[in-house]
Each structure stands twice: as structure tokens, then as C-alpha cells.
């Protein structure tokens, strides 16, 4: 676990695997940290089933990436990599962290995904957030229910609900991703499945550029929210129409 003297954070990103957050919302965490907010990451597995690297490799890499992202806390649970299930036991494991961190905002993966773990985490995380607010569910910490849940939709074929401008943080975001040398450095293992190292920068920057253009900025990360938005002043709504 990586943590400061205070376990709490304003924004908690929950993901199935170490490096998921770096791919989908690392720039957003950097932007929130730059605004003085405390950020945290909860990885639900340790990466033991991955084609490349070991759980120990990915733990070291995740710690380095956490420093680059400026998060105040990072923890990995022991859910089985590649076989995450939405069970009461697993929900309670997440509830423990939610009640310690007490985030206002939780970031989850989008609920439709190629990797089954990612889709499961969207539902598992949402239900854990609900369970965390129930006073009769005892974990040793007082109940806490996040105010807002948003879904990182970078790899989903959906129109984003909003974009976070990550332009000032795009290089640091890339360095955090590339901290996972066991995953992204060129090697024989998984060479037919993984993008060559020399193409990773081009691809990730192109994706961020695409989403940035949708919102009138250079680089962005996309999100979906299930609730409608609320506007107080029409003259302050961002993103130009014409």
C-alpha cells in the first residue's frame, strides 16, 4: 500500500488491474492533484494471470506510477486476476477501502468492455458504493457513500458525457503508463498481443487528441455519467457550438 499520513482522498479510481487507471484516467488524476485535491487508486487484482510480468513486477511498477500520478494512496486487493466476481465478500472488501478513503468522487471502468474483469468492476464498484452507505454493514469504519460515480470510457464505443482537459499533463501521464516496463517494453512474451513499444506513445496521444478535439482542447480523457447534468448559468457552459 502507498499512503500518506491521512488515508482520505477526494477522488478514488477503482480498476481491475494495475495499469488500467494509467491508461484511462491517469491524466484526470494528475489534473485533480494539481487543483489541490487528494487522489487514490484501488486495484482489485495483483496481475498474477497476466501474459507478461509477475505480480511482484507489477507491484513495483504500480508504486512508481503512483508517484508519477501524485496519488496519496494506492492499494491492491486480492481478487483473482481474470476471474473477478460480483460477490458480497468482494463488495465488502471494497467497502472497507471506501470507508477509509471516504471519497466524494469514484471513477469506475465503463460497464461494457472486451475484458470481462473491466465490465464486472463497473457493477461491483457501484454496488460496493451503495453498500458502503448502509450503517448496518459493519466494517469497523463509519458508513460512507460517495456523492458521484463516473465511468472512464476511453476504450468504449460511446459518446462521452464530458471530457477532462489533460493537456498540461499528457507527458506525465505517458511516463506513468510506461513505468510498467514488464508490460510495455518490447519482449518475446505476448508480442502478438501487445502494441510494440515504439507505437504506444503515438496511439495513446492520438486517442487523447481525438477526445480533446471533441471538447475544444488539445488532449482529453472521456467519461460518462448516468445522471443528467445541472447548469446554473448558460453563459458559463464550456465548449463552443459554432
Tell me what pLDDT residue 44 has. Answer: 97
Mean pLDDT of 25-44: 98
Mean pLDDT of 50-79: 91
Q: Is 222 left (phi over 0), alpha (psi -120 to 50) or beta?
A: beta
- Percent of the chain, pLDDT > 70? 93
Residue of 190 and 133 predicted with greater confidence: 133
Domains contained in the chain, CATH given:
2-225 (3.40.50.10320)
Tell me what pLDDT residue 53 has. Answer: 72
Tell me what pLDDT residue 177 has. Answer: 96
Tell me what pLDDT residue 192 has. Answer: 60
pLDDT in tens, 88-99: 999 999 999 999
Could you tell me the three cell numbers for 108? 469506475
pTM of the complete model: 0.92
The SS3 of residue 215 is: coil
Question: Which of the residue ranges 60-74, 176-190, 200-214 would you say has the lowest mean pLDDT?
Answer: 176-190
Q: How big is the CA angle at 140 (ends 129 and 134), to the nearest 5 degrees?
A: 35
What residue has cell string 484526470?
28
Sign of CA dihedral 146, 138, 21, 158: negative
Distances (CA, A) of 47 to 81, 150, 192: 6, 24, 19
Residue 141 has pLDDT above 80, yes or no: yes
Tell me what pLDDT residue 7 has. Answer: 84
C-alpha radius of gyration, the chain, whole number: 18
Amino acid at each position: 500500500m502507498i499512503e500518506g499520513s491521512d488515508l482520505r482522498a477526494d477522488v478514488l479510481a477503482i480498476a481491475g488491474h494495475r495499469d488500467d487507471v494509467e491508461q484511462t484516467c491517469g491524466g484526470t488524476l494528475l489534473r485533480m492533484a494539481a487543483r489541490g485535491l487528494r487522489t487514490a487508486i484501488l486495484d482489485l487484482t495483483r496481475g498474477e494471470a497476466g501474459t507478461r510480468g509477475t505480480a511482484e513486477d507489477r507491484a513495483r511498477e504500480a508504486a512508481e506510477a503512483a508517484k508519477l500520478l501524485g496519488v496519496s494512496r494506492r492499494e491492491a486487493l486480492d481478487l483473482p486476476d481474470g476471474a473477478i466476481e460480483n460477490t458480497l465478500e468482494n463488495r465488502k472488501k471494497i467497502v472497507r477501502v471506501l470507508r477509509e478513503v471516504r471519497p466524494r468522487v469514484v471513477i469506475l471502468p465503463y460497464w461494457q468492455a472486451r475484458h470481462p474483469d473491466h465490465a464486472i468492476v463497473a457493477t461491483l464498484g457501484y454496488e460496493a458504493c451503495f453498500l458502503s452507505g448502509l450503517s448496518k454493514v459493519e466494517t469497523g469504519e463509519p458508513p460512507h457513500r460517495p456523492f458521484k460515480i463516473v465511468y472512464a470510457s476511453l476504450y468504449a464505443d460511446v459518446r462521452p458525457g464530458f471530457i477532462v482537459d489533460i493537456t498540461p499533463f499528457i507527458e506525465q501521464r505517458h511516463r506513468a503508463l510506461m513505468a510498467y516496463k514488464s508490460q510495455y517494453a518490447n519482449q518475446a512474451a505476448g508480442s502478438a498481443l501487445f502494441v510494440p513499444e515504439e507505437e504506444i506513445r503515438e496511439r495513446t496521444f492520438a486517442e487523447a487528441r481525438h477526445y480533446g478535439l471533441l471538447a475544444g482542447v488539445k488532449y482529453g480523457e472521456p467519461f460518462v455519467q448516468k445522471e443528467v447534468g445541472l447548469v446554473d448559468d448558460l453563459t458559463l457552459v464550456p465548449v463552443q457550438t459554432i
